[in-house]
Amino acid sequence: ILAVTLVVLFSGLPIAWGLTLVAVGFLLLLKGPAALANVPILIMDELSSFALLTIPLFILLGAAIGASAAGKDIYESLHRWLDRVPGGLVIANILACGVFSAICGSSPATAAAIGKAGVPEMMKRGVPASLATGSICAGGTLGILIPPSITMILYGIVTETSIVSLFFAGVIPGLLLALGNIISVVEDSNKLV
């Protein structure tokens, strides 16, 4: 199954259609044509899942905010607050990533939205490109831990774990990760001064 799936995915066929083709093909091969009667029922059951409905809505929210000036506004306000702190520009990016992660729940959307505003601003103010992009990448990972996280929703659905419990479990590690990133930036900034 894995070999056939890889061949189909690398063939250039869209992923959704490729996975559907592999699943239906193996269902026909292993269970026979009668098993195809269950496919529409399974599809409708999964589409009516309340938890799965949140994923496209979070993605839509992240895309809408990423296309707006919200990422730049978050970045600008945090930068003004942290202007005199060593490494304040980079810390502003990490905090902006944390705030944006709490809004949209997606690490890639966070990195894209904050990176679009933050990296050019940091480079314009003399921050090396490696530090600018590194801070966006490190801050973008906060989207996995800080609720609402799409990854936690998927994990909760697959393992039948309470999504609310997962959200509560992600708050403290997410804040600690952000704090660790900030401490690292402040220490590095103090070494450079």
For residue range 135-157, what is the model confidence (pLDDT) as tens digits? 888 888 888 888 888 888 888 88
DSSP characters over 82-94? TTTSTTHHHHHHH
CA distance 140 to 98: 8
DSSP characters over 159-172? HT--HHHHHHHHHH
For residue range 63-116, what is the model confidence (pLDDT) as tens digits? 777 677 776 777 778 778 877 777 888 888 888 888 888 887 778 878 887 887
Predicted structure pTM score: 0.67
Average pLDDT over residues 34-51: 80
Asked whether the beta carbons of 185 and 91 are under 8 A apart, the reply is yes
Count of C-beta atoms within a 10 Å radius of residue 136: 25
pLDDT at residue number 193 = 47
Asked whether the beta carbons of 82 and 127 are under 8 A apart, the reply is no
Q: What is the largest CA-CA distance in the chain?
A: 72
Radius of gyration in angstroms for the set of CA atoms belonging to the chain, rounded to a whole number: 21
User: Which pairs with CB-CB distance under 8 Å and at least 24 residues apart come from 41-50?
Assistant: 49/157
For residue range 6-27, what is the model confidence (pLDDT) as tens digits? 999 899 889 889 988 998 899 8
Q: How far apart are the first and last CA of the chain?
A: 57
Peptide bond into 148 cis (omega under 30): yes
pLDDT at residue number 100 = 82
CA distance 144 to 174: 8
